[in-house]
Structure 1
Amino acid sequence: MQGSGTLTLTTPGPREVRMTRVFDAPRRLVFAALSQAELLKRWFSGPPGWNLAVCEIDARQGGKYRYVWHGSNGEVMGMGGTIEEFVAPEFMVSSEKFDQPWYEGSATSRIELSETGGRTTLTLTVQYDSEQIRDAVLKFPMAQGVEMGYDNLAAWMASAEGEAALAQLG
């Protein structure tokens, strides 16, 4: 997996991974693309050869979400959780648990969006149950997968379809 090199990854605490990416799009479009199933389906496909077979999200505090990806060789990867906090278009906090035991326990993800001059900075902070789990996750190509997804999002937002979605948002 090779991404565009536009994702910044840090480990601000012993259990955290923080990933930051700037998009050439307004915050309301980025937030909508992260929280509306019909928009997620447009870009959240996973690595090449994978597709998003299940995309369900009840985008509100207390709502649930579920994603399942299918790979070209019959692989299946699923995850889901509960949205713990939801303040559109500023931030969303959710629990995260994969169907496959990629790591022990669960995680909490916080997505924060800030906009300056029509550009949006997305900061994703994932907190794991322990430093050992965080370090184990960092050995996987997790960051490359996130970066590829965000590359897909950037390309979709720059497309005619993304422009039309922005126009519909007002």
Structure 2
Amino acid sequence: MPLTSVEKDLDALTMTITADFPVPVRRLWDAYVDPRQIERFWGPPGWPATFTRHDVFPGGYSNYYMTGPDGERSGGLWHFQAVDEGRSFTVRDGFAREDGSLNTDMPTMLMTFSFEETPGGSRVVSVTTFPSLEELEQLIEMGMEEGTKEAMGQMDDVLADLQSFAADLPASLQLIGDTQARVTRVIRGTVEQVWRAHHEPELVKQWLKGPDGWVMTVADVAQNVGDRYRQEWTREDGSDGFGFEGELIESASPHREVTTEAMIGMPGEPTRNELTLTPVEGGTLLSIVITYPDADTRQMILDTGMVEGMETSYARLEREVLGAVSA
């Protein structure tokens, strides 16, 4: 059990939780900033968490929900106020409605997580500041303290699981709900390098080619919100061909962007693609949350070998673009 202490200061309206772990600070930090990892311990036993958004940069947001034994849900929303890479982050923490928006009928809190090295490994100290004594007592009565203790009791297994989150793993797929999919991969390069490789047309053409034998002929990149983009490919001999187009609807360089995507000439609703880049040990964690019109469309597209094609491109990005930059 990693929990060291829980202290409540009624005068300062704070609750401070300290936990120690036999791992380096970087390993502990990454467990919090990687959505695949934090959702394995953030919810208490019986209430696993699912993070549909996790943008660890100043101004970023995280959306998550915890699912109970009978399928009931409790949603949460973080707004990142400050991030000191590898050392601390502060969020405005609140309850979320079903659509992910802030539930203004419930209290919001300020939470600061600090990470430090210890003789035996590392320590995380979380300080939650409540808006009033009444709201502190309300949330404690709702089980916040016990739920946090139980949740942190799951962290040892997550931190010990190095294999599932190693930097040399290929792109992985996780289904979220009925209509979403999250593809993640650690790219060996900085956040700035990976962002640039996604936004400079000549670089994009070098790596975003999918399986061997194809070339990217059009890489029109959207630079500003509201701009449209277009991507086209053909076989090396010029036969066949397909493409995608869409609109840039949100951008926070170099950490996050949201686009729509539809196959050129095909009817139907576009997907919504949310790209997030987060620095982690070994490089940059690239995470794409894709929202499909329905479950059947999601399955149809995944059955095309989409994730395998993405992995081929990401491996080429490391080898032919970022490898050249680092040389």
TM-score by length of 2: 0.46
> 1:86 aligned to 2:248?
no
How far apart are 1:5 and its partner, in Å? 5.5
Percent identity of equivalent pairs: 26
- Contact 1:6–1:21 (CA under 8 A) maintained in structure 2: yes
Alignment partner, residue 326 of structure 2: 163
Give the Cα separation in 2 of the matches to 1:61 and 1:146.
25
Aligned residues: 159
Alignment partner, residue 241 of structure 2: 76
CA RMSD of aligned residues (A): 1.9
In the TM superposition, 1:124-135 aligns within 5 A as 124-135=288-299
> 1:31 aligned to 2:195?
yes
1:100/1:144 CA distance change after superposition, 3 Å: farther
> 1:107 aligned to 2:274?
no
Deviation by residue 1:100-152 (Cα, 9 ceiling, x = unmatched): 54x84210111100003461000011111111111221221111111111111
Q: Partner of 2:226: helix, strand, or coil?
A: coil
Deviation by residue 1:8-54 (Cα, 9 ceiling, x = unmatched): 10001210111000012110000111122122122112211110111
Alignment partner, residue 171 of structure 2: 7
1:21/1:50 CA distance change after superposition, 3 Å: same
What amino acid maps onto 2:261 in structure 1?
E
Give the Cα separation in 1 of the matches to 2:281 and 2:292.
33
Alignment partner, residue 147 of structure 1: 311
Which sits farther off after the overlay, 114-123 or 18-27?
114-123
Give the Cα separation in 1 of the matches to 2:178 and 2:212.
32
Give the Cα separation in 1 of the matches to 2:275 and 2:285.
10
- Contact 2:184–2:286 (CA under 8 A) maintained in structure 1: yes
Q: Which has the higher contact order (CA 8 A, sep 6+)?
A: 1
Q: Partner of 1:92: helix, strand, or coil?
A: strand
What amino acid maps onto 1:76 in structure 2?
G
Question: Which of residues 114, 118, 121 in structure 1 aligns to 2:285?
Answer: 121
Q: Partner of 1:148: helix, strand, or coil?
A: helix
- Contact 1:44–1:153 (CA under 8 A) maintained in structure 2: yes
Structure number with greater Rg is 2
Q: Partner of 2:279: helix, strand, or coil?
A: strand
TM-score by length of 1: 0.85
- Contact 2:193–2:322 (CA under 8 A) maintained in structure 1: no
Structure 1 runs (4+) deviating above 6 angstroms are none
- Contact 1:46–1:69 (CA under 8 A) maintained in structure 2: no
**Long gaps (5+) in structure 1:** 165-170
- Contact 1:77–1:100 (CA under 8 A) maintained in structure 2: no
Q: Partner of 1:61: helix, strand, or coil?
A: coil
- Contact 1:7–1:147 (CA under 8 A) maintained in structure 2: yes
What amino acid maps onto 2:209 in structure 1?
S
What amino acid maps onto 1:127 in structure 2?
T
1:139/1:11 CA distance change after superposition, 3 Å: same
1:14/1:72 CA distance change after superposition, 3 Å: same
- Contact 2:203–2:321 (CA under 8 A) maintained in structure 1: no
- Contact 1:31–1:89 (CA under 8 A) maintained in structure 2: yes
> 1:96 aligned to 2:96?
no
Alignment partner, residue 167 of structure 1: none
- Contact 1:104–1:133 (CA under 8 A) maintained in structure 2: no
- Contact 2:176–2:182 (CA under 8 A) maintained in structure 1: yes
